[in-house]
Structure 1
Amino acid sequence: MRLALLFASIFLAGPVHAADAVQNADRLMQKYQGDVPGAALLVLKDGKPLVRKGYGLANLEQHAQVTPDTNFRLASVTKQFTAAAILLLAEDGKLKLDDSIRHWLPSLPATTDKVTLRQLLDHTGGLIDYEDLIPPAQTSQVSDQDVLRLLSATPRGYFAPGSAYRYSNSGYVLLGLVVEKASGRTLQDFLKQRIFTPLHMDHTLLYVHDDPTPDKSRVPNRAYGYSQIDGHWQRTDQSVTSATRGDGGIYSSIDDLARWDAALYDDRLLGDASRKAAFSPYAKVTGEPYEADYGYGWRITGDTLWHSGESIGFRNVIVRWPKQHLTVILLSNRNEPEPYQTVLKIAQTFLQE
Structure 2
Amino acid sequence: MSSDLNWGAAQKLAEQFVAGWKPDEPGGAVLAFDVDGVRFAEVAGIESLSTGAPFSAGSVVRYASVTKHAFASLVLAHPDKIGLDDRLGEHLQELRSPLAEVTVGQALDMTGGLPDIRECLTLLGLSVFTETSAEPLYETIARMTRLNYEAGCEVSYSNTGYRLVERILENKGIFFRDHIRRQGAALGVVLDAPDVWNAPVAGLVPGYWHDGAGWQMSAAGLHISASGSMTGSATALAAWAQALMLGKGALAGVLDALSAPRRLADGRVTGYGLGIRRNLLGSRVLLGHGGSHPGYKSQFLIDPETRTGIVAVANREDANTYKIAFETMAGLLGEALPESKAGLPDGLYVTQAGPWWIEAKGTSLTYLDATDTLYDDGDGWVSSRSGSSPMRLRSDGAEIVGEIGHAPRRFLPAVDDGVPASLAGRWLSSEGAMIEIEDGKVVMGVGPVRHRMPLRSIGRGRYLFTLVDGPWTKTVCLDRLADDRFELVLSRARMIEYRRA
Q: Please confirm whether the aligned pair reaches a TM-score higher than 0.5, indicating the same fold.
A: yes
CA shift in 2, pair 1:192/1:20, >3 Å: closer
CA contact (8 A) 1:47 1:262 kept: no
Contact between 2:180 and 2:191, CA under 8 Å: does it hold in 1? no
* Partner-residue secondary structure (3-state), 1:110: coil
Higher RCO by CA contacts (8 Å cutoff, separation 6 or greater): 1
Cα offset, 1:20, TM superposition: 5.2
Question: Shift of the alpha carbon at 1:231?
Answer: 3.5
Render the CA deviation track for 1:146-167: whole Å, top value 9, x for unaligned: 3311110111112222222121
Query: In the alignment, which of 153, 156, 169 is matched to residue 143 of structure 2?
Result: 153
Task: Say if 1:227 and 1:234, in contact at 8 Å, map to a contact too.
Answer: yes
Q: Does 1:298 align with 2:298?
A: no
Cα distance in 2, alignment partners of residues 247 and 18 from structure 1: 33
Which residue is 1:287 aligned to?
none
Tell me which residue corresponds to 2:193: 206
- Aligned-residue offset at 1:140: 3.5
Alignment correspondent of 1:61: 50
In structure 2, the partner of 1:101 is 88
SS in 2 for 1:305: strand
- How far 1:126 moved relative to its partner? 1.1
Q: Which runs of 5+ in 1 are unaligned?
A: 1-13, 212-216, 285-291
Matched, 1:349 2:331: yes
Q: How far apart, CA to CA, are the structure 1 residues paired with 2:143 and 2:213?
A: 42
Query: Percent same amino acid at aligned positions?
Result: 24
User: Contact 1:144 / 1:177 at 8 angstroms: preserved in 2?
Assistant: no
- Counterpart in the other structure of 2:134: 144
User: Which structure has greater helix proportion?
Assistant: 1
Q: Aligned ranges for residues 65-214 of structure 1 at < 5 Å?
A: 65-90=54-79, 93-134=80-121, 135-137=124-126, 140-182=130-172, 184-193=173-182, 195-201=183-189, 203-209=190-196
Is the contact between residue 42 and residue 52 of structure 1 (CA under 8 Å) also seen in structure 2? yes
Unaligned runs of 5+ in 2: 265-269, 336-501
Q: Is 2:278–2:288's contact at 8 Å kept on the other side of the alignment?
A: yes
Give secondary structure in 2 for the equivalent of 1:197: helix
Counterpart residue type for residue 12 of structure 2: Q
Q: Show the counterpart of 1:228.
A: 210
Given candidates 301, 304, 308, the residue that maps to 1:322 is 304
Q: SS of the residue aligned with 1:304?
A: strand
With over 3 angstroms needed to count, the CA separation of the structure-2 counterparts of 1:102 and 1:259, relative to structure 1, is same
Counterpart of 2:221, as a letter, is V
How far is the alpha carbon of 1:21 from its aligned partner?
A: 4.0
Cα distance, 1:118 vs structure 2: 0.7
1:283·1:294 contact (CA, 8 Å) conserved in 2? no
> What is the CA distance between 1:310 and its match in structure 2?
0.9
> Could you say what secondary structure the match of 1:189 adopts?
helix
Report the Cα distance in structure 2 between the residues aligned to 1:56 and 1:102, rounded to whole angstroms: 47
Deviation at 1:283, TM superposition (A): 5.2
SS in 2 for 1:206: coil
Deviation sequence 1:208-229 (CA, Å, 0-9, x none): 3289xxxxx5322222111111
Structure 1 residues 271 and 94, CA gap change in structure 2 (3 angstroms): farther
CA contact (8 A) 1:316 1:339 kept: yes
Query: Residues 60 and 210 from structure 1, CA distance in 2 versus in 1: closer, same or farther, beyond 3 angstroms?
Result: closer
Tell me if structure 2 keeps the 8 A contact 1:126–1:160: yes
Residue identity opposite 1:27 in structure 2: Q
Q: d(CA) in 2 for partners of 1:260 and 1:299?
A: 17
Counterpart among 12, 18, 40 of residue 29 in structure 2: 40
Q: TM-score, normalised by structure 1?
A: 0.83
Counterpart amino acid of residue 97 in structure 1: L
C-alpha displacement at 1:84, in angstroms?
1.0
Pick closer, same or farther for the CA change 1:110–1:129 going to 2, 3 Å. Answer: same
Amino acid across the alignment from 2:242 = A
Q: Give the C-alpha shift of residue 137 in structure 1.
A: 4.2
What corresponds to 1:252 in structure 2?
232
Cα offset, 1:281, TM superposition: 2.8
Contact 1:223-1:333 within 8 A present in 2 as well: yes
* Structure 2 counterpart SS, 1:147: helix
Q: Is the CA contact 2:18–2:29 (under 8 Å) kept in the aligned structure 1?
A: no
Say whether the 8 Å CA contact 2:58–2:233 is kept in structure 1.
yes
Q: Secondary structure at the match of 2:98?
A: helix
Give 1 or 2: higher strand fraction. Answer: 2
| Alignment partner of 2:19 out of 30, 37, 61 | 30
Please give the TM-score of this superposition, normalised by the length of structure 2. 0.60
Q: Looking at CA atoms only, which structure, 1 or 2, has the larger radius of gyration?
A: 2
Check 1:188–1:21 CA distance in 2 against 1; reply closer, same or farther (3 A cut).
closer
- Cα distance change, pair 166–94 in 1 and its aligned pair in 2 (3 A): same
3-state SS of 1:205 partner: coil
Question: What is the SS of the residue equivalent to 2:20?
Answer: helix
In the TM superposition, residue 316 of structure 1 has moved relative to its aligned partner by 1.3
Alignment partner of 2:305: what SS? helix
- Provide runs of 4+ in structure 1 moved above 3 Å: 17-21, 137-140
SS at match of 2:69: helix
